[in-house]
Amino acid sequence: MENELVIYVSASSEMDAECELLGRLLANITKSTRWVIKRTPGIHEHANPDLVTLKRSQFYLILMGSDITAPIGVELMAAQEAGIPILAYRNISGTATPAAAFFVHNAGVTWTRYESPAEFIHELERELITRLVEGTPGYGLNLSDIEDLSLRLERLKQGEQDKEVSEDKRRGAGRGGVILPSE
């Protein structure tokens, strides 16, 4: 049976570059895993958050920029209530609105701060690989993937990073989607 992992992403449209990089990361992180990415509905979608998918997710990623938009607060509360591992990242390159500052202060999560999408994806890669390796066999990864992830984590700890991350070429994965295994 094919291994599937779900990551739910709470992010406003200002975080599109980060979401695009997330899609690229997940496409290359394991060979045998099908990733499902579900994201906060866009402001023009007039839709409720997909709390059913959120509650079956293995990871919940919240990205904060300069402002917060609905329904990010509802999604975070649902993830906290469901006990889903939370990955919280905050872009500190801009000035936060009072609403965003209040939310960040009172969200009850530990924020990893970053200044650029490239810095974000490098930090997230380390954190996600660590969780995948430490959570095994709970995530259903095969031995080959675990070995590859462990080697990649060691290289990351030694300061090795992939070639410069480019935000220029967007391919549309920023709004969510399914990433099929390459094996």
* Residues 90-145: tens digit of each pLDDT: 999 999 999 999 999 999 999 999 999 999 999 999 999 999 999 878 899 989 99
Q: Return the axis-axis angle of helices 117-134 and 143-157, rounded to nearest 10°.
A: 130
Residue 34: CB atoms within 10 A of its CB come to 15
Dist CA 68 CA 47 (whole Å): 17
Residue pair 37/7 in contact by the 8 Å Cβ criterion? yes
The residue range of the domain holding 142 is 3-165
Q: What integer pLDDT is reported at residue 32 of this predicted model?
A: 87
In a domain, residue 66? The reply is yes
Greatest Cα pair distance, the chain, in angstroms, is 48
Q: What integer pLDDT is reported at residue 129 of this predicted model?
A: 96
Domain count, the chain: 1
Q: Does residue 170 carry a pLDDT above 60?
A: no
In a domain, residue 183? The reply is no
In a domain, residue 179? The reply is no
Q: What share of the chain is helix, strand, coil (3-state, %, to 5)?
A: 45, 20, 40
In a domain, residue 44? The reply is yes
Q: What integer pLDDT is reported at residue 136 of this predicted model?
A: 73
- The per-residue pLDDT for range 40-97, each reduced to its tens digit, is 998 888 889 999 999 999 999 999 999 999 999 999 999 999 999 999 999 999 999 9
Q: Report strand pairing: 112-114 vs 86-91.
A: parallel
The CATH number for 42's domain is 3.40.50.10140
In a domain, residue 111? The reply is yes
In a domain, residue 178? The reply is no
In a domain, residue 170? The reply is no
In a domain, residue 14? The reply is yes
